Structure 1
Amino acid sequence: MNIRVFPFAHIRGGTVLKKLSLLSNRPQLPTWFVVGCVVALWFGVAAYVHAQPSTGEEPRGIGTTGQSTPYDTSLTRELSQRSLESSVLLERPIDPALYQLGPNDQLTIMLTVSKPIQYEVVVAPDGKLIIPGVGAIDVRNRSLAESETLIQQAVARVYRDPLVAVSLRRMRQFKVSVIGAVRRTGMVVATPATRVSEIIDLAGGASTRASKRNVEIIRNGNIIPVDLMPFYAYGDLPSNPTVRGGDVVKVGVQDQHNIIIISGGVQRPGEFTWNKGDSVSTLIRYAFGFTVDARQDSIEVVKVDEVGNIRERLFLNATPDGQIVGDLPLEIGDQVFVRQKKNYFVPSRVVVWGEVKYPGYYSIEPHSTRLREVIQRAGGFTREASLADAVLIRRRLIEQDPEYGRIAQIDPDQRTPQETEYFRVKNRELQRPGILTVDFNKLMNNDESENLALQHDDSIFVPLVRGFVKVSGKVKNPGNISYTPNYKFRDYIQLAGGYGWNADEGEEKVIKGRTGETFLADNEEDYTIESGDAIFIPEKTEGEFWKGFATAVTIVAQVATIIAVVVGLLNSNNNSN
């Protein structure tokens, strides 16, 4: 007998097909058998890969709580999408004298000779636009106004006494690179009207360590420094320039040794990156101005030396309109302290907003006025109010943990295991900072244990009843599904069309809309799905997919080889008989 045995170690998908093709040339092995083996191989691969579990990461937040955390990738995607949608919106009309045309700009050209003729033309990649019957016009590095003049001259060479009108129909889009302290570095799509702050938003926003004052545009090898603080503080547009195609936007990290500090009677006390030209007046503007109890006649400026020792104390005054008399330049490490009026009376109040009849501010007696009374003064809830999702926020509890702030400044790769665990746990706590646990349904049914005493600056928010459960991830039809009491997570997945391709079954997550807590969906004893919750179905990681694919190919190839050997033996026996 002439039996050929193929070593399993050298059999892979392509080799198996070769061997099967060779066998198919033998009369003993029908063609239908070869085709059957190939079909079985691919079905086996698909079944094996689909059945593999995933060891990938958990979903990093669904965005149901609306909180921004370092792990909330869905929020950064939403922010990027909104920024992209707004990129076609203009803050003001385009100035034809300043707007430079470039490839893919779309123009509308209206010619009036014997009768009106309208052309829609696009600037070509080489900077030229072509008008039928007129020819090509080079508009590279030309403003819209200059280009209109060139077009008029070109048309006048063809037609007698023409009337020409040119307008920008659609701005071009181009790519800009974003690097540095942003959530997602890489390329983003922009237009000539897109500003640096929008580019940062398109990259998912600045990271916690980013400095708004240390931004650079790298353009044709030149570095253009950008200080966004004047834009964020008082809307100074020149401080937030637009970008061009091929720009690289670099967001720097805040240097803790290059700061100036302001505290006391200002709206936003804190640390700011020092830049050349900073003064007492600019720092107060960056802190959003004085508070109502600020003593504007007693502004203390403390100047320090290189090692932090106080070398000088100065006192300045401000005019009634906030202008600093004898404004001083600041240097690295300088501190500004605005004294506050002693025993200055600030009326205590809370804010009620959302689904109440009369939202707004309400005066209270701290530690005496209670929650139900304020709800009643606000006219009670509307019919669309979701009492299950209503919250009481105590702003005084929203304080930055110094240890959390310290760890946040450390590169993740350099944190100790203890620091990493502390940072992770604290992040979960900070998803809903300052929120007090209140059951508003029990509150309105006269349960006094829920009728908490209020404090100054408390905030009561009553959201609109959502009436749906959000299903996202690897399902066929992701979206909002109408809430049905007693439905399980698999019911909602079924309503969303079932699992999609490469869904990681068994790793589904349920995210509570009210608390932000995340549960493994299979642990149904730990939670109950309510209106406003979210269900996330992750995708198998790419590494697991290809690992499963390779394993499946090997297994099916070996099975196909065994079948070929057995058939060869049977055919040989038949021939010998």
Structure 2
Amino acid sequence: MAGVADMRGGCPVAVGERAAHGIRSSAPPAAGRSSVCRWQASALDGDRFFHRRRTVRVDRRYRRRARPGPAYMNHLSSEYARRMDKNGCSQPYGRCRVTMKGVMQIFRCALPAFFGVLATVVAGQGQTTVTEKQDARVAIVGMEAFREVLETGRYVVGPGDQFVLLIPGVEEALELWVTAEGSLLIPRVGRVPVGGLRLSSARAAILDACRTQLPSVEISVELGQFRTFPVSVAGMVGVPGVSIASGVQRIGQVIRNSGGILDGASKRNIRLIRGGQLRGRDRQRIETYLQTNQLPHSDSLEVLRVDLELYYTTGLTRYNPFVEDGDLIVVPAKGEGILARENWSRPGTYEYAPGDRISDLVSLALGPAVDYDPENVLLFRYANGRWRYLQHVDLAAAVARDPEADLLLQPADWLIARKLPDYQNRSTVRVIGEVVYPGSYVVDLEGSRLKEVLEQAGGLTERASLGKSRVVRDFDAEQVNDPEWTRIMAIPAASWDREEKQYFNMKSREKPGRMVVDFIELFATEDGGAGQNILVRPGDAIFVPMALETVLVSGQAANPGAVPFDESYTVADYIERAGGFSWRASSDVVIIQARTGVWRDADDVDKLEPGDRIWIKENPVHDRWALFLEGMQVAGQVATVVLLFVTILK
């Protein structure tokens, strides 16, 4: 076949097959000097790829370049590049000679395909970006926003909103967007102005326009997607300025997106100016209001008070309305307060808002406590420079919004709820320690006998220590307040005199609330001993510790620790059991009795009891050289005074 001079290592392929590969030649080859140009291609036959290699010998004078078509170009970018090795040969068929001309030809063929693939990827990314933008515009609509804004038709339509028109007989719904000039362009109907209208009015205008042009067609109109719009936030917020919001967001959300309310800012007197329907000189009145904080008078200018404190407390949505396009939110400084004192669930001081009533303050305080006295709720008002009693308040009627009981409040008013006397007073005592059934037990308001309470607890166990048992009474802090102790503690310890030191030692060893009861004598006789069976009152605690059958030897003993109790042992015996005195021990030994906590000298104690402590004091180390130097210094000072006195006498 013409043009085919040689075939090496491949199967015969007709020149006409070049068209199958998308390669076009300008003229048939002519005789003469020829050179070898080699090219490789892959042909698609059904689902299989056949790789062929052939050599074409052409005349050098009529040398022509192969012009790859689209099919070969697209296939070369993927299949050929994948299957060629670094030497430019097909892997199944070994190596071949590579020329620079062949490499340039491959580059010219692959470059358009590369840019085609790149364009496809970029186009795919752009399409994904559009989809993401469309998905981002679909905001979350809660049931409250649906019922209060969309279902009621109060939503204000503006540029960027999308409407969906469903026409009978048409498979796909018609999606239309409100233009920048606030109109909806409906095919075959025309221009319908809807910008600035409420959703209910905009829907009615669209349906009226459609009925005019298409009277026999029943068209359904829905709001498909709503827009976002800028809202101005001024005053004491974190980031004042313009915040992006939507018609299904509340004022509190917009303020939070602007950095939140600063410390010292008002949460109850936030001003919301509805500026979407401004006419004429209303903007000037807004400026006057912002400068003077005086409410402007205009029928077209709506100024609302946002009360976030009551909204967070009660959850009533009227205190935190939804935002609209054109709104201006002003957060002023915190104003004067009103007080809820004493027996409320959340007593405290709350910001005063014009128009506040007793029921509002009760809501802020989360209502009265369970133990309040309904007959003793008082309102105090600051007048003429002094507090004066105003009147009793019928709290139930005030909460029910009775105009006669739900009085208007003034700044600095106090609402006081007294506590119900003797409400659920404590009527139990606690029994702790070595009894059969420890816990709380009910006693009479006047009190019950100690032995009776212990019998209710099942009595004492075998391990109970009668000597260390005690009854502790719960005293109020005011009852145990000691001004003398407070005075002494305010003086440096180095400045205390002898009596103040003794008073300090006495108070430091004192155990507030501990009742004087001898449990050993209490259980020694049937009648409970002489005055030991005392009355325990509500709030008292009875402690019965475990008996410690040891005597503790501490301080400067050779082997300090607990020594088993033995009735026949003396103080010296216990010290001997602890290894005797250490080399720094002094002769001063103190006994601390477990029952009373009293310190006694060892020579004055004849018999020890379980739990007692033997304290061997340390012999102080004296620096004799320092004492000598101090003595010499004092002697020198005395000699100087004597010489001075003698000199004066002469």
With the length of structure 1 as denominator, give the TM-score of the two structures: 0.42
Higher radius of gyration, 1 or 2: 2
Q: Which has the higher contact order (CA 8 A, sep 6+)?
A: 1
With the length of structure 2 as denominator, give the TM-score of the two structures: 0.37
